[in-house]
Amino acid sequence: MPLLLLVDGSSYLYRAFHALPDLRNQAGEPTGALYGVLNMLRRLESDYKADYKAVVFDPKGKTFRDDWYPEYKAHRPPMPDDLRAQIEPIHAAIKAAGWPVLTVDGVEADDVIGTLATQATAAGIDTLISTGDKDLTQLVNDRVRWYNTMSNELLDAAGVEAKFGVPPTRIVDYLALVGDTVDGVPGVSKCGPKTAVKWLTQYGSLDGIVENADKITGVVGQNLRDHLDFLPLGRKLVTVVCDLPDLPAPGTLTASPLDIDTLRTLYGRYGFRTWLREVESGTPPTAAHTPASVSPPGSSAADSPAPADLPTPPATLRYETILDWADFDRWLAAIEAAELTALDTETNSLDPFAARIVGISLAVTAGEACYIPLAHTAPGVPDQLPCEAVLARLKPWLEAVDRRKVLQNAKYDQHVFANHGIALAGVAHDTLLQSYVLESDKGHDLGQLCKRHLGLDTIAYEDLCGKGAKQITFDQVDLERAAQYAAEDADMTLRIHQVLYPQVCAEPGLSRIYHEIELPARPVIWQMERTGVLIDGDALARQSHEIGQTLMKLETQAYELAGQPFNLASPKQLGEILFGKLGLPVKKKTASGAPSTDEEVLSELALDYPLPKLLLEHRSLSKLKGTYTDKLPRMIEPSTGRVHTHYSQASVVTGRLASSEPNLQNIPVRTEEGRRIRTAFVAPAGYRIVSADYSQIELRIMAHLSGDERLLQAFAQGEDVHRATAAEIFGVTPLEVGPDQRRVAKSINFGLIYGMSAFGLARQLGLERSAAQTYIDRYFTRYPGVARYMEEAREFARQHGYVETVFGRRLYFPEIRSSNGNRRQAAERAAINAPMQGTAADLIKLAMVAVQGWLNTSALRTRLLLQVHDELVLEVPDDEIPHIQLELPKHMGHIGNLRVPLIVELGQGASWEAAH
C-alpha cells in the first residue's frame, strides 16, 4: 500500500534540543536542535520509503483548546532562547530538503496529524506517525502505526496495548485518568498508569468507571469521585481531533526537489561539514553524522579534523548468556582478536572494596554482547561456569596492556578485579570520562548517556533490584533478566564510546583534557583510593569525648542565655527562643513563612548577640563530632587498617575531584578542633607524612590568564603579592604597607577571583560601600589586565555558553543568557572564576600524574595518599625524606608552562596536621 509519513515537528524540536549537548558553530550560534531534527528526518527517510510525507508544527499563540480550558498548557515554561533561535533555520532546512511543512493557525500539530491520518486511511493509504508524544498512540489502527525515532520503538495496535496496558481505542480514557502535567491537564490524583489500567480492565471504559465510581474504595476512589465533574472536559482535551476542514489531501503531500543553494548555505553556516560535502558532491543524504559545530573560537570549522560518522543502531540485538566452555572459548577468541572490547562487571555491592564479581559482560560489536554469570543464587538458576576458573582463564587478557578495553567508570571495575587478585590493565577508554570532558554540567551514568546520545531507554538497576530496604543484591536477580541488563551495559558502553570519542577528538582542547589529564589521572586516583590513609582511632576517640564534654557545657550556657532548656537542633524551638522570647530581629524567613535560623542568619546575629554565637559554635562542634571523630574510626577497612576515601572524577564541573565516604576535603582547618582531626591522620612507624601545597595557585593563574604586567612582575620577582597589591592601591612602597592595608589587598585579590562586589568587600572588611568601591577602582586602575580579562571572560561566556581553562577544559554556564538577572549575574561571576578553578584542577591532576610517574620509575617506596584542593599528601619512608624534599617541588612545579612560576610549599611530620 502507499505510505504517508507524518512527522510531529514540534516533538522533534524539543527532543532534539534536550537530547543533544550545547552544540554551536564557530560564531557561537546554537545548532543542536537543528542538527538533531535534520538527522532524525534523514534516518526516517532512509528506513521508510514513503510516497507522501509532511512535517507538522504547532502554531504560535493559542489554539481552540485554550478556549475550552484556560489552564491548558498555561504553565509550560517559555521556549528557551537557544531553541527559538533555531526555529527559522529548522523550517528552512526541512523545506530545502524537500519535505512539505504544515502549520495551521489555532490548531495543534496533533490534530493536523490526526485528520491527515484519518483521511489517508479512507483513501487506502497506510500512515506512519513519527513522534515521541504518547497522545498520538490513540490514532493507531490496522492502517496507522506510531514510531519513536529516538528509542527506535515502532508500535502497532498490539504494541500500544503491550506498552500501555490498554488498546489504542482506550488511550483517551487512560490519558484522562492519569492526566498530562506537561499540558496542564489534571488527572485523578494518585491515579497512576497501573491504577488507570486496572480500572479500565475492570470496568471497560471511562464511562464504565464513572458509572461504578461509588464502588471504588480508598483515597484514590474518593479522588475519582471528586474529579468526576472535570473528566468529560479532560477527555475532550486529550482527544485528537480528526475532522479538520481545509487541509491538503494526503495524496498531494509529495516531496519537492532539493534546494541545493539553501542547503549549501545552511550547512556551511552551521558547520555540518559532512552534509555539506554531500551537497557539493551530489551524493545521497545519509543519517547520523556528527556536526562540526563545536570548533574552538578563532578556528575555522574547515581546519578541524572531521569527526567520524555516528554508528547506525543495529536492527536486531544479539545478547548471549554464557553457560558452557565452548561458548566461553568462542568469546575469549573474539576479545583476543578485537581492537577494542567493552567490559563490565556485575557485583554484589556498590562498595568497591566489598564488591565481589557476580558476572562479567563483554561486547566487541554494536548490538552483540554476552554475559558470563558466575555467582547467581536466584532460585532455579542453571549451572554456571566456576568463577575462579573463568577468572583464571580471563586473567591474562584482563592484565594485558595491549588488549584495549573501554569501560563505563573503569575505576570501580578495577577495584572489583583487584579484590579477586587481578590487576586490570589496557583501559584505553572510559565513557564516563568522555562524557565528563564533553559536557561536565550534565549527568554521566550510562542510562543518561544512552537517553541523551542514542535516544534509547535502558533497563534501570532499580527495575531489577528494587529500592530502599527491600532492595536485593544482583546475584539474587532472575538470571534471564540479569543477563539482558548486563549484556546491555557492555553493548551500550561500546556504542556510547563510538558516539562520544569522535566528538572528543574533534576538539584539540578537549582531546588534550581527555588523553593527557583525565585518562592518565584515573589510575593514579585508583591507586590513592587503594592505598588509603592510616588513622589513629584512639586519638579520635579522645577528641570525640572532649568535644562531647564541650557540647554539654555549651548546652548549659545556651539554656542560661535563653532562660530555659530547649532543643538546640530544633529550628522551631530555636526560632521561638530567638525571635519570640528574646525578641531578636528577624533577618529572613523560610519558604513556610517562619523566621529562618540558618547559618547565615545566626552569623549575622552573632555579631551583636551572645546566644547565636554560642549556637554556631555548638553546631560546628556537633558536625565535627558526627562527621569525623565519631565516624572515621568506624570507616577503617579491616583488611588494611586504613580509611579509603572515594574520589569522584566526574562530578565537579570545574574538574576538581570530589571526596566522599569519608569526605576528606571539608575538614575545617580554621578552628583548633578542626585542625586536631588532622592529627589523627598519621604515618606508620618508619614513615613521615609530607604535604606539598601549591602557593596562591589561583592568583598565579589569574596573572597568567590576564597577562597583567604588574601582576606577572610581582610573581616573577617572588614578591609578597598581597603586599605588592596594597602598595599599588594605597600609593606607598611595599615596606610602608601596614597589616590592615595588606588585609584589604588580600581580600581584594581573593575576592575578585570569586566575583566579589563592592558590597561584598565592604561587608567582609567592615567598610562603607563607597570606600570598598574606591579600593576596587584603584585596583583595576593599577591592574588593567585583570579588568580586561574579567570583561573578556564574561563576553566569551555570553557568546559561547562556556569558558575554557588554560588547557582546554570547557566549563558550561546554561544561565549565562538567562532572563533572570540574579541568575545571569551569578553565571557571569562564575565565568570569571571558573577558568582559574578549572586550571588549578587541571594542574593538580597533571601534578598527580607526574609525581606518580616519577615514583614508579624511581623505585621509591613513597606513596601518594590524598589530594585535597591544591595539596598532595604523601607517605614517605624516613630514609627518602631528603630526596622527596629536593625533587618533589621540581616535578610539581615544572608542569603547565604558565607565565608565572609555580611555587610548592612542603611540610613533613608524624601527622597530616604536623606536615601541613
Tens of pLDDT, residues 718-756: 989 999 999 988 989 999 999 989 988 998 888 877 778
pLDDT of residue 21: 66
Percentage, residues of the chain above pLDDT 70 = 96
Grid coordinates representing 674?
578542626
- Whether residues 707 and 627 fall in one domain: no
pLDDT at site 276: 87
> Mean of the pLDDT values across residues 390-417?
97
Predicted confidence band at 127 (pLDDT cuts at 50, 70, 90)?
very high
Rg (CA), the chain: 32
Q: Which of the residue ranges 239-248, 260-269, 819-828, 846-855 would you say has the lowest mean pLDDT?
A: 819-828
CATH number at residue 120: 3.40.50.1010
Categorize the per-residue pLDDT at 301 as very low, low, confident or very high, splitting at 50, 70 and 90.
very low
Helices of type H across 296-344: 325-337
The secondary element (H helix, E strand) that includes residue 416 is helix 410-419
Distance CA 830, CA 616 (A): 28
Classify the C-alpha dihedral 72-74-76-82 as positive or negative. positive
Residue 180 lies in a domain: no
Mean per-residue pLDDT for 901-910? 95
The DSSP string of 239-278 is SPP---SSPPPGGG--PPPP-HHHHHHHHHHHT-HHHHHH
User: What's residue 528's pLDDT?
Assistant: 97
Alpha carbon 292 to chain centroid distance?
A: 23
Q: Which residues pair with 863 in a beta bridge?
A: 875
**Per-position b or e across 809-844, b if 16+ CB within 10 A of its CB:** bbbbbebbbbeeeeebbbbbbbbbbbbbbbbbbbbb
In a domain, 134, yes or no: yes
Of 584-598, 676-690, 832-846, the range with the lowest mean pLDDT is 584-598
Please tell me the distance from the alpha carbon of residue 788 to that of residue 706, in angstroms, as a whole number: 7
Residue 314 binned pLDDT confidence (cut-offs 50, 70, 90): low
Question: 640, 658, 428, 645: which is closest to 523 by C-alpha?
Answer: 428
pLDDT at 281: 76
Predicted confidence band of residue 298 (pLDDT cuts 50, 70, 90)? very low
Half-sphere exposure of residue 495: CA atoms within 13 angstroms, side-chain side? 26
- The answer to whether the beta carbons of residues 258 and 242 sit under 8 Å apart is no
For residues 842 and 809, the answer to whether their CB atoms sit within 8 Å is: yes
> Parallel, antiparallel, or unpaired: how do β-strands 427-430 and 533-534 relate?
unpaired
Q: Is residue 750 part of a domain?
A: yes
- If one counts every other C-beta atom within 10 angstroms of the C-beta of residue 46, the result is 14
Other beta carbons within 10 Å of 396 = 11
**Among residues 31, 313, 39, which one has the least CA distance to residue 151?**
313
Report, as an integer, the average pLDDT of 874-903: 95
| Whether 495 and 581 share a structural domain | no
Provide the pLDDT confidence category of residue 659 given band limits of 50, 70 and 90: very high
Name the average pLDDT for the chain.
89
Query: Which of 836, 864, 898 represents a domain boundary (last residue)?
Result: 836
CB atoms near residue 298 (< 10 Å)? 6
pLDDT for the residue numbered 459: 86
pLDDT tens, position by position, 36-69: 899 889 888 888 889 999 999 999 888 888 888 8
Residues paired with 154 in a beta bridge: 147
Residue 284 pLDDT class (50, 70, 90 cuts): low
> Do residues 653 and 811 lie in contact, with contact meaning Cβ atoms separated by under 8 Å?
yes
Residue 296 predicted with pLDDT over 60: no
Whole-angstrom distance, CA of residue 201 vs CA of residue 193: 12
Residue 668 lies in a domain: no
Cα–Cα distance for residue pair 82/908, rounded to 1 Å: 53
Confidence (pLDDT) at 763: 81
The mean pLDDT of 800-816, rounded to a whole number, is 91
Q: Rounded to 5 degrees, what are φ and ψ at 628? A: -125, -65
Q: Is 81 exposed, middle or buried (0-12, 13-18, 19+ CB in 10 A)?
A: exposed
Dihedral pair phi/psi, residue 291, rounded to 5°: -75, 145
What letters, b where the CB count within 10 A reaches 16 and e where it falls short, cover 201-231?
eebeebeebeeebeebeeebbeebeebeebb
Say what the pLDDT of residue 321 is. Answer: 96
Asked, for residue 690, whether it belongs to a domain, the answer is no
Kindly state the cell numbers that stand for 673.
Answer: 578542633
Both 502 and 584 in one domain: the answer is no
Q: Considering only CA atoms, which of 656, 655, 695 is closest in space to residue 902?
A: 695
- Cα(210)–Cα(173) distance, integer angstroms: 11
d(CA 86, CA 38): 12
25 confidence band (pLDDT: 50, 70, 90): confident
C-alpha cell at 25: 558553530
| Beta strands, E only, 542-686 | 636-637, 642-643, 646-648, 658-660
Q: What's the DSSP call for residue 671? A: S
Higher pLDDT, 711 or 288: 711
d(CA 310, CA 51): 28
Distance CA 244, CA 113 (A): 10
pLDDT of the residue at 80: 85
**Contact present, 85 and 28 (Cβ < 8 Å):** no
Same domain, 549 and 486: no
Instruction: Please report whether residue 874 resides in a domain.
Output: no
Residue type, 386: P
Are the CB atoms for 342 and 428 separated by under 8 Å?
no
Specify if 670 maps to a domain: no
Predicted confidence (pLDDT) at residue 254 exceeds the cutoff of 70: yes
Question: Do 481 and 556 fall within a single domain?
Answer: no
**Is a pLDDT exceeding 70 seen at residue 215?**
yes
Shared domain check, 596 and 470:
no
Q: Residue 629 maps to which CATH number?
A: 1.20.1060.10
- Mean pLDDT, residues 398-422: 97
What is the distance of C-alpha 851 from the center of its chain?
29
Same domain for 714 and 630: no
Among 460, 490, 506, which residue terminates a domain?
Answer: 506
Establish whether the linkage from the previous residue to 291 is cis, with ω within 30° of 0: no
The enclosing domain of 488 has a CATH number of 3.30.420.10
The whole-number pLDDT of residue 312 equals 47
pLDDT of residue 722: 92
User: What is residue 909's DSSP assignment?
Assistant: E
Q: Count up the domains in the chain and report the number.
A: 4
Would you state the pLDDT for residue 475? Answer: 92
Residue 287 has pLDDT above 60, yes or no: no
Residues 61, 120 within the same domain: yes
Q: 185-194, 489-498, 829-838: lowest mean pLDDT where?
A: 185-194
Residues 499 and 546 placed together within one structural domain of the fold: no
Percent with pLDDT over 90 in the chain: 63
Q: Looking at residue 368, what DSSP letter applies? A: E
Same domain, 10 and 60: yes
pLDDT band at 315; cut points 50, 70, 90: low
Number of Cβ atoms within 10 Å of the Cβ of 539 = 18
The grid coordinates of residue 601 equal 542568619
Region of residue 149 (left: phi > 0; alpha: psi -120 to 50; beta: else)? alpha
The grid cell for 907 is 611540610
pLDDT of 867 reads 96
Q: Are residues 357 and 496 in the same domain?
A: yes
The residues pairing with 811 across neighbouring beta strands, listed in sequence order, are 803
Model confidence at 883: pLDDT above 80? yes
* Residue 71 binned pLDDT confidence (cut-offs 50, 70, 90): confident
Distance between CA atoms of residues 391 and 388, nearest Å:
5
Q: What CATH number is associated with residue 726?
A: 1.10.150.20
Q: Which of 24, 38, 150 is nearest to 82 (CA)?
A: 24
Cβ 39 vs Cβ 289: under 8 Å: yes
Q: Answer whether residue 913 is part of any domain.
A: no
The pLDDT score that the predictor gives to residue 491 is: 95
Q: CA 207 to CA 199: how far, in whole Å? A: 11
pLDDT of residue 283: 61
96 with 202: CB under 8 angstroms? Answer: no
- Buried b / exposed e across 463-490, counting CB within 10 Å, b at 16+? ebbeeeeeeeebbbbebeebbbbbbbbb
Q: Where does a domain end: 836, 853, 873?
A: 836
Which 3 state secondary structure label does DSSP give 619? helix
Contact 340, 406 (CB under 8 A): yes
Per the DSSP assignment, residues forming a β-bridge with 812 are 802
The amino acid present at 579, given as its one-letter code, is F
Full residue range of the structural domain in which residue 722 is found: 699-836
Beta pairing partners, 866? 873
Residues 497 and 559 reside in one and the same domain: no
Amino acid at 139: L
Report the pLDDT averaged over residues 492-516. Answer: 93
Instruction: Please answer whether residues 797 and 827 qualify as being in contact, where contact means their C-beta atoms are separated by less than 8 angstroms.
Output: yes
- Grid-cell match 549575622, residue found: 604
For range 408-419, the mean pLDDT = 97
